[in-house]
Chains A and B, each alone.
Chain A
């Protein structure tokens, strides 16, 4: 089984996680830029983070046989801090880079005017750079947040078919689907979806344009949720092809809209057969911690 986790914050995870993910079938991940739990206080702090998403983290992932791409953005929570907002001016030089496959996570947190501006600005940046957008929906006041998000997307230069709306659930899936977006579901303990509810949503709405992710990060979360959903789907009678569609082909199709998805990196799994990603470096090379 091949699995693509389209939303996971590997920066917060350990090498044990990478190992377990590979064993479970994960061969590709996308890491959206988000907040770190501890608020940032300057654009420079974002730049170091973006550089890590394009440097150290893909290197770590490749050592475990996993292709790593990222999405870059000012997240909605920190869009409210005037000390952070100037990072928007730095985004264009990141959005041209090879392993950036979307603008994200953008969207709403508390639905403030500052968030309106950041969302609209970054949807425009996505359109300008030929990138799709990963738009997260808020935890509080979710349905109202989704509606406002869809309005802003419709007013933007970015076609709705280039937008993935994430953290959907039973109350928001229908409107997002009717809106023509890609549909993301985070299977995350306690606060988002779980495996059984995910199966039920897929039974009701079908696998078309549906992506399932673990959204694993520094919170109580589980990087193997994608595999657990796959197993639950098979058990519920979905076919191998349905599972492959949701957990591999749909994320490949969505992020492939960027024209920058390079999944061969997964074939260059450094820990398994010495290869081009390490370019001549022996197969057992281990980074220092």
Chain B
């Protein structure tokens, strides 16, 4: 029955408390990985967000990774932002984690949403290369490079390659990726 309560939380508690109520329900029910996967699969975007929020507190091992990977495949920035939380920081493999960071930059999700970013980015030469290439592509197209990109690049410890300006473009709007990935 608690799964029904998750679905109707907005109506019962008001939209502003729905997410907190859903997370609380998941905690109270002690939802395990299969239960979380079921709620996620049958959930709306709001219900899925609650699952992603609760995930790091309810599952220790990597068995719930498919949920995170699904959310990272979506184009819904609310889900992408929730997917790069502490659970992803703990369990997402290096390749998928780098793509998740890049996806945040593409879609305008602030990298502040990425849990444990400094630790995972540190000395990641491959991430630095990807960021550098992305910056070069933006500059070639005469598009602003998101400031967040340089922040992450700094964290890798690999300085930006001095192609083009090599420094953050003077963009008035700090978030102007067009997020066109496909």
**A contacts, CB < 8 Å to B:** 51, 54-56, 58-59, 93, 96-99, 259-260, 262, 264-265, 276-289
Contact = CB atoms under 8 A, between A and B. Distances in A.
A287 B18 contact: no
Contacts of B9: 98
A55 B49 CA distance: 11
B163 interface: no
A56 B11 CA distance: 20
Contact of A285 (B4, B179, B180): B179
A99 B108 contact: no
Interface in B7-25: 7-11, 15-16, 18
A280 B110 contact: yes
Q: Is the interface of A mostly helix, strand, loop or mixed?
A: loop
Interface string B40-62: 00101110100000000000000
21 contacts: A54-B45, A55-B45, A55-B48, A56-B45, A59-B77, A59-B78, A97-B8, A97-B44, A98-B46, A264-B15, A265-B15, A278-B77, A280-B81, A282-B110, A282-B174, A284-B108, A286-B108, A286-B180, A287-B75, A287-B76, A287-B107
Interface residues of B, number: 36
Contact of B107 (A259, A262, A280, A288): A288
Nearest to A57: B45
B7 A96 contact: yes
A99 B106 contact: no
Contacts of B107: 285-288
Contact of B81 (A51, A279, A284): A279
Q: Is the interface of B mostly helix, strand, loop or mixed?
A: loop
A54 B47 CA distance: 10
Contacts of B181: 288
A98 B10 contact: yes
B151 to A, nearest CB: 14
Contacts of A262: 10, 15
B109 interface: yes
> What 3 A-B pairs are tightest by C-beta distance, nearest first?
A285-B108, A98-B10, A282-B175
B8 A96 contact: yes
B28 interface: no
* Residue from A260, A280, A287 with most neighbouring chain B CB atoms (10 Å): A287
B177 interface: yes
A127 B99 CA distance: 47
Interface string B66-80: 000000001111100
B168 to A, nearest CB: 16
A55 B110 contact: no
